Amino acid sequence: MPYYGCHLSISKGFEAMGKDALFIGADTFAFFPRNPRGGQMRPLDELDIQRLKQLLQDHEFGPLVAHAPYIYNMATGDPEASAVVRQRMKEDLERLDHLPNVYYNIHPGAHVGQGQEQGISNVASVIKDVLSEGFSTPILLETMAGKGTELGGQFQELAAIISELDSDPQVGVCLDTCHVSDGGYDVAQDLDGVLDELDQVVGLERLAAVHVNDSKNPAGSHRDRHELLGDGTLGLDFFRSLVQSPRLKDLPMILETPNKKLEGYKREIAMLRAFEQGATVQEAQSQIESEPTQ
Distance separating alpha carbons of residues 8 and 177, to the nearest angstrom: 19
Give min distance, CB of 83 to Zn ion, in A.
27
Residue 53's alpha-carbon distances to 76, 98, 106, in angstroms, are 36, 10, 23
Instruction: Tell me if 110 sits within 8 A of 149, measured CB to CB.
Output: yes
> Which of Fe ion, Zn ion, none has residue 211 at its interface (CB below 5 to 8 Å by kind)?
Fe ion
Task: Calculate ∠ Cα 196-198-202, nearest 5°.
Answer: 130
Task: Provide the pairing of β-strand 30-31 with 214-215.
Answer: unpaired
Positions touching Fe ion (CB under 5 A) are: 142, 176, 211
> Which of Zn ion, Fe ion, none has residue 157 at its interface (CB below 5 to 8 Å by kind)?
none
Task: Provide the pairing of β-strand 102-106 with 252-255.
Answer: unpaired
Comparison of 36 and 264: residue with beta carbon closer to Fe ion: 36
Distance separating alpha carbons of residues 253 and 125, to the nearest angstrom: 29
Give min distance, CB of 7 to Fe ion, in A.
9
Comparison of 111 and 211: residue with beta carbon closer to Fe ion: 211
Give min distance, CB of 176 to Zn ion, in A.
6
Give min distance, CB of 153 to Fe ion, in A.
13
Instruction: Return the closest-CA partner of residue 174 out of 144, 201, 197, 154.
Output: 144
Give min distance, CB of 210 to Zn ion, in A.
13
Distance separating alpha carbons of residues 124 and 101, to the nearest angstrom: 24
Comparison of 176 and 276: residue with beta carbon closer to Zn ion: 176
Comparison of 174 and 191: residue with beta carbon closer to Fe ion: 174
Comparison of 131 and 145: residue with beta carbon closer to Fe ion: 145
> Which of Zn ion, Fe ion, none has residue 224 at its interface (CB below 5 to 8 Å by kind)?
Zn ion
> Which of Fe ion, Zn ion, none has residue 92 at its interface (CB below 5 to 8 Å by kind)?
none
Comparison of 14 and 185: residue with beta carbon closer to Zn ion: 185
Strand residue runs (E) in the chain: 3-6, 30-31, 64-67, 102-106, 139-142, 171-176, 207-212, 214-215, 226-227, 252-255
> Which of Zn ion, Fe ion, none has residue 276 at its interface (CB below 5 to 8 Å by kind)?
none
Which member of 182, 224, 268, 276 binds Zn ion (CB under 5 A)?
224
> Which of Fe ion, Zn ion, none has residue 214 at its interface (CB below 5 to 8 Å by kind)?
none
Rule CB under 5 A: which residues touch Zn ion?
224
